[in-house]
Every structure is written in C-alpha cells, then in structure tokens.
Structure 1
Amino acid sequence: MAALLQTLSGNPLQTPIGQKIEQATEPSLPSEDWASFMEICDMINDTDEGPKDAARAIKRRLQQNAGKNHVAVMYTLTLLETCVKNCGKRFHTLVTSKDFVQDLVKLIGPKNDPPPVLQEKVLNLIQTWSLAFRGQPECSGVVQVYIELMAKKVEFPVTDLDSTAPIHTPQRSVPPYQRKQPYFNIKSFSTN
C-alpha cells in the first residue's frame, strides 16, 4: 500500500519516462529533440505504466515552467502533441480529461503572461483534439472544455485542419512489403 501511495504522490519526473521528458524539454536545447520525443512515444506505447507516467510527468513539467520558462513550456507542448499523434487510446484518455485540459488553459491565463505563440499553441491543441475525439465518451473532457471556452467567446486560431497530420492514423490495409510480379517476362528479351 505504501508503494502505491508513493507512486501516486511521488514526483512523476523521477520515473524513467519522467526523466526522459525532463531531458527532452530542457530549455537550453537549441530546438526540439525529435529523437527523444519519438523514444518517449515508444516508452508510452511499450509499457503498462507509460501512458500514466508520461501524462503525469508532462503535466508536472508544464506546471513547473508556467509563467517562468516559455521555451520549456513550448517544447513540452510540442512533445505532448507528438505523443497524442503517435500513442494510443490509453494516453489519449488521460490527456483529454477535463482536469488535464483545464491545466492547459491555466497555462495561458493572464497570471502566466504567455506570449501569443504559446497561447495559440494551447488553443490549437484544444481545438484540434476536440474535433478529433468528438464522439468518444472516454475523451469527452477536451470537448467540454472547448465548448466552455467557445461560450466565453475565446477566439481560437484559424487552423487548416485538412493540412494537419491526423491524430488517428489508419491501420495498414496492405502489408508493409508485398512483392509485385514483374510486368514483363524476362525470357522475351533473350537474344536467340
């Protein structure tokens, strides 16, 4: 029981995935660390605790940098977006919960004095996810927050949703490699 309480209340940045998230969103990096982002996605997809640990670590990383380090927040938001696009339903359910999305909204509150690019990023994520996950009851929190923000007359950035990468990547309909038969018969080119 004590181990469970420690896991639930411990610092999520001390887990293996949390440490990787902290390293990948370090503000001193010259740009996004895409290799680490993809490694984090693999960790989320390949372990039972991955989705929960990652969601908690991302949330903590955002909270600890809100209003202090906008670069770290932007890197973390880009990581979050990458994980949503590359991870499965267990992760989606956690990061589209109403509590998680409301924490995203807090990032752009006046208390944190966010730059316009950060505000736009958060609103874009909420809008995109609300459209992608509508009709999925386990992901309805993001839709509820989006509707609440719309009712408060929050202006969302104009987004070309047709040009964005899909969140729901369709399964392959053809195996990854399938040898095709040649269009011609090599024997017909003999020089007899």
Structure 2
Amino acid sequence: MEFLIGSPFSSPVGQRIQNATSAALQAEDWSLNLEICDIINETDDGPKDATKALKKRIVGNKNFREVMLALTVLETCVKNCGHRFHVYVCSREFVEGVLVRAILPKNNPPMILHDRVLSLIQAWADAFRNTPSLSGVVSVYEDLRRRGLEFPMTDLDSLSPIHTPNRSIPENGVSSSSVSPSHTNSSPATPQSSGQLNPVSPEEKQKLTSELDLVKGNLTVMTEMLNNVKPGETSASDAELLQVCVCVCVLWS
C-alpha cells in the first residue's frame, strides 16, 4: 500500500526519524532527536507524520536496536512536544496497536525492550491521568494491570518530568529559519538502555525473587481463570497476555 499512499519516511519529519532510528548509528543522535521535536511543534502535519513514521519503525521490526532507538525518539518527543502530539501517541489505538503489540511473545522481544515499553506506558499513564483527552494510555495501563500484568518497579517521582519546555518559537509557530533545537532542557530524555549492569546486592536479589514469586502467582491465577471460562468466552487479548506472563517468568527464572 505504500506505493499508493507514500512511505511514512517520505515526510520531512519522517526522513529524520528514519535517520535517527537507523541501526547504523553508534549512539543516539540527540541533536537530530530534538530537531524532530521542533518539526512536530512547528508544523501542522508534524504530529501525524511523526506518529506514522514511529509506528512504521516499531511494528513488525525484528531489528530490536532500531526499535529501541525509535522508543528513545518517542520518549524524547513526548517530553518535549505539546498536546497535539500527545493526542496521537497516547491514544488507545497507538498504545495497544504499536507499543503493546511490539512486546507480544510471538515477536520474541528482548527483556530490555519489554521493560522499556511497559515503563513508558506506566509513566505516561501517571503523567496524563487527569487529562481526559489523553485517557487512552491510562485505560490501557489499567486494563493491563487488571488482567494481571506486572509492570517494572519504577520510582515515578525520580523520572524526568513530562512537559513542554518554554520555546523561542511557539508550538505550530512560523519560523523564518531552518528547524533547529531550541529547548530549555539542559539534558534531553536520557535513554534507559545503556547496557551496563550493576552488581546485585543480596537485598536486591531477595527483592527480585519476591517479585518473581508474585508474577508466578499472578500467572497461576490467570491460568486458572482462563481454564474455568466456557469456550468462546475468552478473548484473544487474554490469551496473548497470558503468553506475556509466561515469557516474563521464563526470562526471570
């Protein structure tokens, strides 16, 4: 269908997202990431075009380095862009159809990608809980928790705030110069994928063991619930969520 509607990477912001998420990059290109934020804020089609490009880079992509880079771009944009972009990426359609879909067991995602996606959903749900127009991500988060999915232990108070900083050029404003970073943040969203592992203390090991036991307990409950329902009453999402829980237990064991 791309030959009919055009590639999501053909737009100005789409081209930059393609470059910023290329597996050939040795590290995140923060100047390019912030330039993407500027285009989203300063153009009418920026939010929609960026969402399409990020979806294209994440969904069905087996190159997990590109997916992780796309998540970094996505996180950076949520923290530095305005409401117009938030409406797209916090919709139930995007959260379920792009983020949750990326960590289904059938895609065999690495655990670091699995935790990164869940951390983003959790952080956005907390940040936008009181914004009705962004309730899609909140409903997905609550639905996943209600179904028994365990989220990574995260100190939400320690996370970088999700907000749009003051800008020299207002959102959707007109600029006579080329797009360039103009953010007041001294340090953009810091990626969580450094790849360096810290030594685990006995206390931390005990805590992780307790959390694993909790996940296993939830898995047992979910399995019994699904075994007791009548044929046809269970949904495909319930079965996929059970697969996620099984994957978590296998990887944590």
Q: TM-score range by the shorter chain?
A: 0.7 to 0.9
Deviation at 1:15, TM superposition (A): 0.9
Structure 1 unaligned blocks of 5 or more? 1-5, 173-192
Query: Counterparts in 2 of 1:138-177, with a 5 A limit?
Result: 138-169=133-164
Aligned mate of 2:78, from 75, 79, 84: 84
SS of match in other structure, 2:59:
helix
Q: Does 1:96 align with 2:90?
A: yes
SS of match in other structure, 1:14:
coil
Query: Counterparts in 2 of 1:30-179, with a 5 A limit?
Result: 30-65=26-61, 68-102=62-96, 103-169=98-164
Identify if the C-alpha distance between structure 1 residues 64 and 16 changes in structure 2 by more than 3 Å, giving closer, same or farther.
farther
Q: State the distance in 2 between where 1:114 and 1:64 align.
A: 11
Name the structure 2 match of 1:28: 24
Deviations 1:45-83 (A, max 9, x none): 111111111011111111141xx1110000000100000
Name the structure 2 match of 1:14: 10
SS of match in other structure, 1:27:
coil
Deviation at 1:127, TM superposition (A): 0.3
Q: RMSD of the TM alignment (CA)?
A: 1.7
Contact 2:60-2:102 at 8 Å conserved across structures: no
Deviation at 1:168, TM superposition (A): 2.3
> More deviation in 161-170 or 77-86?
161-170
Q: State the distance in 1 between where 2:106 and 2:11 align.
A: 30
Name the TM-score, length of structure 1 as normaliser: 0.81
Deviation at 1:96, TM superposition (A): 0.1
Contact 2:81-2:164 at 8 Å conserved across structures: no
Q: State the distance in 2 between where 1:73 and 1:121 align.
A: 11
Deviation at 1:159, TM superposition (A): 0.8
Equivalent pairs, count: 164
Q: State the distance in 2 between where 1:115 and 1:74 align.
A: 10
Letter in 2 for 1:78: T
Q: Which has the larger radius of gyration?
A: 1
Q: State the distance in 1 between where 2:20 and 2:31 align.
A: 9
Letter in 2 for 1:17: V
Structure 2 unaligned blocks of 5 or more? 168-253
Structure 1 outlier segments of 4+, above 3 Å: 169-172
